[in-house]
Chain A
Amino acid sequence: MSSTQEKPEELDRIQKRVNKILEARLESDKDTLDALSGLSTFFTENTLQNRRNLRSQIEHRSVGINENFLKAFRQVKLSLDAVCEDLDTMATSVETMKSDLETSKALTKDLIKQTNTMQRERDRLEVHKQIAQAFLARFQLSGAEHQLLYGAAKDAPIVADFFRVLDRVQSIHADCRLLMQCGYQTAAIDIMEEMTLHQEGALERLYRWTQNHCRSLENNEIGPLIVEAMSRLQDRPVLFKYVIDEYAIARRAVLVRQFIEALTEGGPGGNPKPIELHAHDPKRYIGDMFAWLHQSIPTEKENLSLLFKKCDKQDISDQLQNALGYIADGVCHPLKVRVETILQAEKDTIVLFTISNLLRFYQQIMRQVVQGGSLEECLVELQKSSEQIYLGALAAQVRSVLQRPSGGSGLALEPPQRDLVPPPSVARLLNMLKEILSVATMVDGRQADITKIVSCVIDPLLQSVQESAAHLPTVDMGVYLLNCLHHMQSSLAVYEYMDERVERLQAQSDAQLDTLTSEQASSLVANLNLGPIYAILQSNQSKIETNLLKIFMSKMDAFLELPDVLLLPQVQLIMSSSHRAAVQKRSFNVIVAIYKQIYERVHDPANGFEQPEQLLHRTPEQVAHILTST
């Protein structure tokens, strides 16, 4: 304190320090507070003694604390020493290990090298494997495909994928050629062989399936699979044919059943009515049966074309025709039995002829639809037998008309009557013929039919007429035959195809006309007393007795007055006026010719007739004029 007063500077300094102390905030100085609190533990009493001992006491304490430090650090040192020791051990271990490692490394070097090589090898092989797999995928069938091709079970149905696999087999087979060109002959040949086997196996299976399917084909459901299957099978003609055979057998049975149903049951609820309901009307019955067949066949044909829709590799139209023929054959038997029953039971010639026509019509129609096969044969046979039957029936009918009512054997007509007109049987038979010929025919070949029918009627008729005329006198016979022939000729002339027959009848008529003419002429010669004069003319004698000429001329004058008087009475019975006129004219012409000869002879001055104008006062021209103008 004193110093503060002594020197201002000093004071100043002290003041500063005091200020500093004052300014020092002891409460906030932690160190000081700690020191003070530490001090408070042992400096309990502010005594001198205590103040004097304070220093030593603090030092003493400080030594104590340092000793504690030392103790603690010794321990730490000891621990560190242990650690250090451990580290040393580790170092040695590591050293050992390192050397061991060096050794191993030296030892494994080869192994690693080997591993690396193998790894590279493995990579390479992996690539190979991929290629091989790709190759197999292209050239072999997968398990699934294999199963598709051969079927999981024995009777597994064919599915659409089957054809895909089959195509693949085929394409693999085709691809093998390319493989071969690339130089892989062995593999290519092996694969080709395998694929061929697959193909055969698959087609065999396809064949069995298709055949089975066709066998159970009821409603004609031809699915796309069947169509496809047929297109595949066409490469195997034998299998293809077997399938078609099977199909045809199945359809044939169906067609027969449907035919029988149509015959016996008709449509649903009997509408349309069963065909057999019309069995009493043979024309209708047989017509219905054939119409049914004719209408069923286009459907069968269409189904067959559908079956062959994708078969384009060869011409299958023959096979189609054969199959169609076979399908249609089935109905032959039921058809034939029915038609034959009708033919045998029917007696009416006209109905029989109509049926025969109908059969011929359908024979021609069916031939256009189904060629070959037994249906055609059956129709031909039926047609032939129907023809025989109707011709037989016709012949029998003709015979019964021509039979003598007394029941005698042989063909004979009623004996000719005095009027020499044809007997009623002739008219009956001609009428019958007319009825038959008026039956509508629907087919070509009518000419042959008609010719046959006409012969069947006319030939025996002619024969009978001639037989019954045989015992008549010549003129009567001529007139009678002429009348019969004329009747036949005029009946037949209105029909077609009769030219030849009419011509033959005409020739026979002409023969009779000749006979009659000569008979008439002879009769005229006799009546005019021309006989002796004609004999002189023939013998070239120049002299004719005037008396004979006078008698002749007077008869001639009478004759020229009424020429008809000298006609034979039978000639008047000739029914045809033209025939009558012909006989008259031709016989008169004979007289005219003879008269002309006599006239020339008489008027020849060399023969020395006196007054020839008075002997024969008519010129031949006048005579001819009178006789021919009547």
Chain B
Amino acid sequence: MSKVRSVVNKLHERIDYFIEKCPNMTAAPYNYNYIFKYIIIGDMGVGKSCLLHQFTEKKFMANCPHTIGVEFGTRIIEVDDKKIKLQIWDTAGQERFRAVTRSYYRGAAGALMVYDITRRSTYNHLSSWLTDTRNLTNPSTVIFLIGNKSDLESTREVTYEEAKEFADENGLMFLEASAMTGQNVEEAFLETARKIYQNIQEGRLDLNASESGVQHRPSQPSRTSLSSEATGAKDQCSC
């Protein structure tokens, strides 16, 4: 009889071990709440791909080859305790790809328009890029102007004040950044996301629309989180 008991005890131990190893069932399958679609545009060689690389890999990519058509990068960020997955489409700046890249504006929630502070011509082309963006995207698309290569102060050709004025006139958000040092790169991507999130909270973006550039992925206890979202919205509005 004592033998049976010892067998049973051994089994207990084993079963407890199994139960411990059993994965947690309640974890939500998605590790993010939203997907935001971004597009990066601007003249050839202004550092669009380097900005993306700096943002997704936190590294500077020297000798970056020219982008062929469009490339794609993702990163999960956090805004207001919400996990947001950024799906970023990096377009080629070369004129020969223009026909292809134009098709990617469709349904972008954010557009990062990049120029090179050391090359005035790239700044001069901004208005044509802006026209394209306005024609090809939603009115709610957040457009963020980035003056890249801010580390090359000595060869600067476009002043901060001038670009800032241009951005203000056209209602764009604006920062000077450096893909090389990483300065302001995070900020540009995150500020855009914050602005998009704010638009969602204020109801300017219809999440149910198929091509709003934003997809919602409710985490598992969706009913309870809804109320907290509503309060979060109020907080957002005040700022």
What are 9 A-B residue pairs whose CB atoms fall within 8 Å in the complex? A138-B8, A160-B26, A261-B210, A262-B210, A266-B211, A284-B103, A306-B29, A306-B30, A442-B97
Contact for A135 among B8, B87, B102, CB less than 8 A: B8
Partner-A contacts on B (CB < 8 A): 1, 3-5, 7-8, 10-12, 14-15, 18-19, 22-23, 25-30, 35, 37, 68-70, 72, 87, 89, 95-97, 99-100, 102-104, 106-107, 136-139, 206, 208-212, 215, 220
Judge whether A532 is part of the interface by a CB distance below 8 angstroms.
Answer: no
Q: How far is the CB of B187 from chain A (nearest CB, A)?
A: 26
Q: CB distance A131 to B1 under 8 Å?
A: yes
Residues from chain B with Cβ under 8 Å of A241 in the complex: none
Q: CB distance B107 to A267 under 8 Å?
A: yes
Contact for A224 among B3, B12, B27, B139, CB less than 8 A: B27
Q: CB distance A267 to B209 under 8 Å?
A: yes
Contact for B7 among A160, A179, A258, CB less than 8 A: A179
Judge whether A469 is part of the interface by a CB distance below 8 angstroms.
Answer: no
Contact for B220 among A224, A290, A361, A440, CB less than 8 A: A224
Q: CB distance B18 to A171 under 8 Å?
A: yes
Judge whether A389 is part of the interface by a CB distance below 8 angstroms.
Answer: no
Q: CB distance A290 to B103 under 8 Å?
A: yes
Residues from chain B with Cβ under 8 Å of A131 in the complex: 1, 4-5, 8
Residues from chain A with Cβ under 8 Å of B29 in the complex: 222-224, 226-227, 306, 309
Given contacts A175-B14, A272-B211, A361-B69, contact A291 B103 (CB under 8 A): yes
Q: CB distance B210 to A442 under 8 Å?
A: no
Residues from chain B with Cβ under 8 Å of A267 in the complex: 107, 138, 209-212
Residues from chain A with Cβ under 8 Å of B104 in the complex: 291, 295
Q: CB distance B14 to A171 under 8 Å?
A: yes
Q: Complex: how many Å from CA A171 to CA B102?
A: 57
Q: How far is the CB of A426 from chain B (nearest CB, A)?
A: 29
Judge whether A164 is part of the interface by a CB distance below 8 angstroms.
Answer: yes
Q: Complex: how many Å from CA A226 to CA B168?
A: 49
Give me 12 other A-B pairs in contact (C-beta within 8 A), A222-B29, A295-B37 excluded.
A131-B8, A135-B8, A138-B12, A167-B19, A171-B18, A267-B107, A267-B212, A271-B139, A272-B136, A287-B100, A361-B69, A440-B97
Residues from chain A with Cβ under 8 Å of B23 in the complex: 228, 310
Contact for A287 among B10, B35, B99, B212, CB less than 8 A: B99
Residues from chain A with Cβ under 8 Å of B19 in the complex: 167
Question: Hey, what's the 0/1 contact readout for A214-239 against B, CB within 8 Å counting as 1?
Answer: 00000000111111100000000000
- Most A C-beta atoms less than 10 A away, residue of B22, B26, B137: B22
Secondary structure at the A interface, as helix, strand, loop or mixed, is helix
Q: CB distance A354 to B99 under 8 Å?
A: yes
Q: CB distance B15 to A171 under 8 Å?
A: yes
Q: CB distance B102 to A138 under 8 Å?
A: no
Residues facing B in A168-212 (CB within 8 A) are 168, 171, 174-175, 178-179, 182
Q: Complex: how many Å from CA A168 to CA B106?
A: 51
Q: How far is the CB of B39 from chain A (nearest CB, A)?
A: 10
Q: CB distance A134 to B8 under 8 Å?
A: yes
Q: How far is the CB of A222 from chain B (nearest CB, A)?
A: 6
Q: Complex: how many Å from CA A388 to CA B196?
A: 46
Q: Complex: how many Å from CA A160 to CA B7?
A: 30
Considering only CB atoms and an 8 Å cut-off, how many residues of chain A contact the other chain? 53
Judge whether A294 is part of the interface by a CB distance below 8 angstroms.
Answer: yes
Given contacts A262-B211, A267-B107, A272-B138, contact A442 B69 (CB under 8 A): yes
Judge whether A298 is part of the interface by a CB distance below 8 angstroms.
Answer: yes
Residues from chain A with Cβ under 8 Å of B89 in the complex: 295
Q: Complex: how many Å from CA A509 to CA B88?
A: 55
Q: CB distance A228 to B25 under 8 Å?
A: yes
Residues from chain B with Cβ under 8 Å of A287 in the complex: 99-100, 102-103
Residues from chain A with Cβ under 8 Å of B138 in the complex: 267, 271-272
Q: How far is the CB of B25 from chain A (nearest CB, A)?
A: 4
Q: Which single residue of chain B is at the shortest CB-CB distance from A139? A: B11
Contact for A298 among B10, B72, B208, CB less than 8 A: B72
Residues facing B in A269-306 (CB within 8 A) are 271-272, 275, 283-284, 287-288, 290-292, 294-295, 298-299, 306
Residues from chain A with Cβ under 8 Å of B12 in the complex: 138
Q: Which single residue of chain A is at the shortest CB-CB distance from B35? A: A299
Given contacts A135-B8, A171-B14, A182-B7, contact A268 B99 (CB under 8 A): no
Q: CB distance B11 to A178 under 8 Å?
A: yes
Contact for B209 among A268, A275, A361, CB less than 8 A: A268
Contact for A292 among B106, B208, B215, CB less than 8 A: B106
Q: Complex: how many Å from CA A184 to CA B96?
A: 78
Q: Which single residue of chain A is at the shortest CB-CB distance from B107? A: A272
Residues facing B in A434-486 (CB within 8 A) are 440-442
Q: Which single residue of chain B is at the shortest CB-CB distance from A175? A: B11
Q: Complex: how many Å from CA A164 to CA B23?
A: 10
- Most B C-beta atoms less than 10 A away, residue of A179, A228, A287: A287
Residues from chain B with Cβ under 8 Å of A283 in the complex: 99
Q: Which single residue of chain A is at the shortest CB-CB distance from B106? A: A272
Judge whether A430 is part of the interface by a CB distance below 8 angstroms.
Answer: no
Question: Hey, what's the 0/1 contact readout for A229-265 against B, CB within 8 Å counting as 1?
Answer: 0000000000000000000000000000010011000
Q: Complex: how many Å from CA A262 to CA B102?
A: 16
Q: CB distance B10 to A163 under 8 Å?
A: no
Q: Complex: how many Å from CA A290 to CA B5?
A: 69
Q: CB distance B15 to A135 under 8 Å?
A: no
Q: Complex: how many Å from CA A235 to CA B25?
A: 19
Judge whether A107 is part of the interface by a CB distance below 8 angstroms.
Answer: no
Q: How far is the CB of B224 from chain A (nearest CB, A)?
A: 16
Judge whether A58 is part of the interface by a CB distance below 8 angstroms.
Answer: no
Q: Which single residue of chain A is at the shortest CB-CB distance from B39? A: A295
Q: CB distance B68 to A442 under 8 Å?
A: yes
Q: How far is the CB of B67 from chain A (nearest CB, A)?
A: 11
Judge whether A78 is part of the interface by a CB distance below 8 angstroms.
Answer: no
Residues from chain A with Cβ under 8 Å of B7 in the complex: 178-179, 182
Q: Which single residue of chain A is at the shortest CB-CB distance from B25? A: A160
Q: Which single residue of chain B is at the shortest CB-CB distance from A275? A: B106
- Most A C-beta atoms less than 10 A away, residue of B4, B11, B14, B99: B99
Q: How far is the CB of A145 from chain B (nearest CB, A)?
A: 13
Contact for B25 among A224, A288, A442, CB less than 8 A: A224
Judge whether A342 is part of the interface by a CB distance below 8 angstroms.
Answer: no
Given contacts A267-B138, A287-B100, contact A138 B15 (CB under 8 A): yes
Q: Complex: how many Å from CA A559 to CA B37?
A: 82
- Cβ-closest 4 pairs across A and B: A440-B96, A291-B103, A268-B209, A267-B211
Residues facing B in A359-382 (CB within 8 A) are 361, 365
Q: CB distance B22 to A164 under 8 Å?
A: yes
Q: CB distance A441 to B103 under 8 Å?
A: no
Q: How far is the CB of B141 from chain A (nearest CB, A)?
A: 10
Judge whether A535 is part of the interface by a CB distance below 8 angstroms.
Answer: no
Given contacts A222-B29, A288-B103, A288-B106, contact A135 B97 (CB under 8 A): no
